[in-house]
Amino acid sequence: MPAKNQAALDFLLTRRSRPAKTLTEPVPDRATLEQLLTAAARTPDHGKLEPWRFIVLGKTAMPRLAEAAEKRGQSLGLDPDQIAKGRSQFDQGHLAVAVIEIDRKVEKIPTLEMTYSAGAVCLSLLNAALAAGWGANWLSGWPSHDRGFMTDALDLADNERIAGFIHIGTETSTPPERPRPDVPAITTWVDR
C-alpha cells in the first residue's frame, strides 16, 4: 500500500475558494508569492513547454486595470452592469496573478493540452495560496476573454491569452459550504 499524505488529502477534500470581494490586506510579500508561483509551476506540462507565464498585479496596478476594463466595455457597447462587473475585480483587488496561456505552436502537442496545463497552473496557484493560509479566488469574466483588453491592458502577444486572475489576500470571512457534485451520479466505472 502506498504511503498516504493525509494532511494533503484532507486539505483537498475540504478546500474552498474565498470570494475575491472578501479578500483584503495584507497580501503575500514577494518572497511568499514567489514560493506560491513555484508551487503552481509544478504542474502537468506535456513536452515541458511551459505554455504559461505569470503577471503579478499589485494594488497600484488595479485602478489602471479597472479603468481599462471600463473603457473597453464602453467601446464594445456593453451594458453598464456588465461593465461594472468587468471592472469590479480590479476595483476591489489588492493582489492578483494573471496566469497567461501561451500557444507554443508545437506540431506534436495539441494547443488544447497547453490550455489544460494553463488551467492546472491556475488551480495549483489557487490551492497553494489556500494551503499557505491565504484567501484566494480564481476569476475570469469578460475582460479575460476580450482580445482588446488583453492587448491594451496587459500587452499580451497574439499567441497569448488570460487563463485566469488568481486573487490572493487575507480573508475577512469564511464562506458557507456549498453543495458539491454527486460523485457516484457523474462517475462511470469501466471494468472490461
Annotated binding site for FMN: 15-17, 42, 46, 138-140
Residue 16 grid coordinates: 474552498
Helix (H, G, I), strand (E, B) or coil at 8: helix
- For the annotated binding site, the residues are 15-17, 42, 46, 138-140
- Spatial separation of the C-alpha atoms in residues 70 and 83, rounded to whole Å: 6
DSSP string, 112-175: HHHHHHHHHHHHHHHHHHHHTT-EEEEE--HHHH-HHHHHHHH---TTEEEEEEEEEEEESSPP
Residue 180 grid coordinates: 458539491
Residues in the chain: 192
Helix (H, G, I), strand (E, B) or coil at 21: helix
Residue 11 grid coordinates: 486539505
